[in-house]
Amino acid sequence: MPDTRKLAVNGINDESVLVYMAKNGNGTRVRCLSVSKITNQKVLIDIAKNKEKYSIVPQEAVKNISDKFVLRDIAKKSWDENVCGIAIRNISDESVLCDIAKNTGNFLVGVEALEKITDSDVLYDIAKNAESASVCLKAAEMINNKSVMYDIAKNTKNKLDFRLSVAKKLSDDAIVQNIEQEKFAKDAKYSDNTSLRHYSVTNLTDQKVLAFVAKIQMKKSKFVLSRL
């Protein structure tokens, strides 16, 4: 930006003029400099939520937003990962960071929130309840406590693939086998993929599950019956 334009923007103290320049100014640098001088939170939020993908103008606006709940919503919903990252870096409340990590479907955003969390109880909550299985696994790794990881592997509801990944990191063959059997049982009962059902039945050892699968499959159960 030519020094004269920078000096001109620096000399503007009327916020309404700065807002106009931020939204309509000629050139990204002029707009960013204008945004950096704005204090009105509503205006900053409006600019931060503007769908200018990969534009540094919304990123500049997020830097000056102070409301942690607004920052949380931006981090969870923004289309631009850079905007999400800046929002997360401006949040210090671990309960808010936990909310982001648990509810974002974006692994990179979830990990950025995780990296600011130090409370093992919060990480445990995320490991068991996050929407993204990849975020769950990252939180479990960060806890670095075998007893907690055993609890996660044994007791987390659903998320069999995630539990299996945790069990493998523990190098516990017995837990791995138990979870694999759960997965085989689920796929044998409910998968629409014939090849996957066949593979799962081949590896199942639980006679009750095999009998159940034979019953619900009826016409398709000859192979299952052969396993009983």
Supply the pLDDT for residue 19: 87
Residue type present at position 118: T
Supply the pLDDT for residue 217: 63
Cβ-contact 216, 191 below 8 angstroms: no
Structural domain contains residue 54: yes
For the chain, 228 residues long, give each residue's pLDDT as a single digit of tens.
Answer: 556 767 777 777 778 888 888 888 778 888 888 998 898 999 999 888 877 654 788 999 999 999 999 999 999 988 888 999 999 999 999 999 999 999 988 889 999 999 999 999 999 999 888 888 888 888 988 987 888 888 888 878 767 888 888 888 888 889 889 888 888 888 888 888 888 888 888 888 888 888 887 776 655 555 555 655
Where among 11, 41, 65 does a domain terminate?
65
> How many distinct structural domains can be found in the chain?
2
Query: Hunting for tokens 């600011």 — which residue is that?
Result: 116
Structural domain contains residue 72: no
pTM confidence score: 0.69
Where among 24, 41, 65 does a domain terminate?
65
CA-CA distance, 224 to 222, in Å (whole number)? Answer: 5
Supply the pLDDT for residue 96: 96
Q: Which domain holds residue 6?
A: 1-65
Structural domain contains residue 204: yes
Supply the pLDDT for residue 69: 95
Structural domain contains residue 122: no
Structural domain contains residue 150: no
Structural domain contains residue 149: no
Give the distance between the most distant pair of CA atoms in the chain. 85
- For the packed helices 107-114 and 133-143, what is the interaxial angle rounded to 10 degrees? 20
Where among 65, 84, 117 does a domain terminate?
65
